[in-house]
Every structure is written in structure tokens, then in C-alpha cells.
Structure 1
Amino acid sequence: MDKLKSVLSGEESRQEDRNISQIVNEASTLGWGTRVKGFIACFVVGAACTVLGVCMLFLPRIGLTLFIVFYTFGNICALCSTMFLMGPMKQLKRMCDKTRALATTIMISLIVFFSFFQWKNFGLALLFCILQILSFSWYSLSYIPCARLVSL
């Protein structure tokens, strides 16, 4: 019945004129409600992993390693949560804008540096954790007009 309805209304001929990128775009776009749900879910997972990482910090021997893993995964989830709101390509383009390219570079390099090196020294791990928090804050403030000027 739907096929007959689309033939009679002329939608089928319009569907044949579309190219593959339009078809993929239609299939991959999310509705606003789904985007908000995805943002909230990803942000909650990120926040939970960050809190769980802080709780793991106090375990003997493996606590610091678990903290680094959970804390870094939490920050990556929180960063990816905004991709639900504006889309991944738009997010990546905005991350590379000239106003936030330095903040993005510092934040991502600290995440990579912090996560790939297993810190044996608690003080050094804490220093890089604080630097990661500051860089993530600076990156987040770059989305608010004139907010970084006020914070400096």
C-alpha cells in the first residue's frame, strides 16, 4: 500500500533522482529528541566514569592505573557527548577553528599523554590530571563568546 501511495503521489520519481550522499544523510540524521537523549546518556557515562576513576584512585597498587583509564575515558565520553548535539563533522570543524585550535590541541595532547603513560608517581599523575581539567575547561569556555577573556 505504501508503494502504491508513493507511486501515485510522485515521490518515487523524486527518490530516484537523489544521489547516494543524500540517501546516507537521510538515513544517518537523528531527530532532536534522539540527539538530546544521546547527549545526556554519553555525558552521564562520562561523568560516572570520572567519578568511578576518582574512587579507584584509593585502591592499593592498581588504583592509579584504574584512575587514569576511567578518568580519561570519562573525559573522552564527555567530549563526544557534544557531537550528538551538533553532529560529528560540525563538531570537528568547530574544534579546529582558529579561536579554539590551541585549546583543542592542548586538551587532546594532554588526554593522550595522560592516558598512554602509566604514571608511577602519584604527584605527577595528579599534576597531569589538574592540567587536563584546566585544558578541558579552557576548551569548554572557548564555546562561550568572550568567556575566556573574562576568565583570564
Structure 2
Amino acid sequence: MDKLKKVLSGQDTEDRSGLSEVVESSSLSWSTRIKGFIVCFALGILCSLLGTLLLWVSRKGLFAVFYTLGNITSIGSTMFLMGPLKQLKRMFEPTRLIATILVLLFFVLTLCSAFLWNKGLALIFCILQSLALTWYSLSYIPYARDAVKKCFAVCLT
């Protein structure tokens, strides 16, 4: 009631945008965020494993779909930890922009090849998807990409 009085009398000096009100009203507690992350990540792994099992029963199209769905769900699980807007901002930072574009591109190409093109091509795109996702994930670990580059440079020379 006091808040309403302050607003109506013009004494509320707090400048609130509509976005900040939405963020505050929909914020989750830390324990809820952890639970959401664990459930979403586990579902992602389950979908990926189910897709892998479908590969062995000659269902390459379903493999690609479940594998991609699992990876998308796993990436989405991190949105519980840092929030969707912050996650999207971090995904498109200059340091991981190319990796993000490649991951999203291979998601689309995997699904297109599973539904429209050759199913064997879907398997190749799944492998490329995994490599791009690994490179994307390494961007969150300080100096991890540099270490991987140096390891490959040593192995190739």
C-alpha cells in the first residue's frame, strides 16, 4: 500500500523499465535454477543417448533428430544458470561468435539432411556438430582454446 501511495504521489524516484519488472517478477531462486539446469541437461543427454541407440538400429534420420534435440536441450539448460538474455548475449560475444554460428548452422544442416537429404549426410553433420559444440564449450574456459590449438600444433609437427 505504501508503494502505491509513493507512486501515485510522485515520490517514487526509482526508474523502472518494463524489462526490469519482467526480469524481477520471473526470477527463480538459485536452487530452482540448479534443479532446472540438472533436469534440462539430463533430458538433453537422454535424447542424445536415445539418438545414439537409434543409430545402431539403422534409423539415421531419427538419430540426427534426437541427437540435435539433445544438444539443443543441453545448451538450453545453461539458460537456467545465467538467464536467457545473458546467455544469448554471451553466445554472440566476439570471442565465440564464429563458434555459435557454426553450432547453429550444423544444427540446421543436421536436421535438413535428416528430413530432406541423404541420411548418411546427417551422420557427417552430427560429427561436425559435436566438434563445433566442443569448440563453443571451450570458449567458456579461460585459455582452453589456446591449449587445444597448441596441442594440435605439437601433434601435427
Q: Shared fold (TM-score greater than 0.5)?
A: yes
TM range (shorter): 0.7 to 0.9
Query: Aligned runs of 1:1-152 on 2, under 5 Å?
Result: 7=1, 10-13=2-5, 17=12, 20-60=18-58, 63-118=59-114, 119-122=117-120, 124-152=121-149
Q: Deviations over 1:54-97 (max 9, x none)?
A: 1111234xx11110110010010011011111111111111111
Measured in 1, the distance between the counterparts of 2:36 and 2:105 equals 26
Note the aligned Cα RMSD (angstroms): 1.9
Q: Could you tell me the percent identity over the aligned residues?
A: 48
TM-score, normalised to structure 2's length? 0.81
Measured in 1, the distance between the counterparts of 2:78 and 2:95 equals 18
Q: In the comparison of the two structures, how many residue pairs are matched?
A: 141
Alignment CA distance shift 1:15-1:146 (3 Å): farther
Alignment CA distance shift 1:12-1:95 (3 Å): same
TM-score, normalised to structure 1's length? 0.84
Gaps of 5+ in 1: 1-6
Q: Which moved more, 1:136-145 or 1:13-22?
A: 13-22
Alignment CA distance shift 1:15-1:39 (3 Å): farther
Gaps of 5+ in 2: 150-157
Partner of 1:4: none
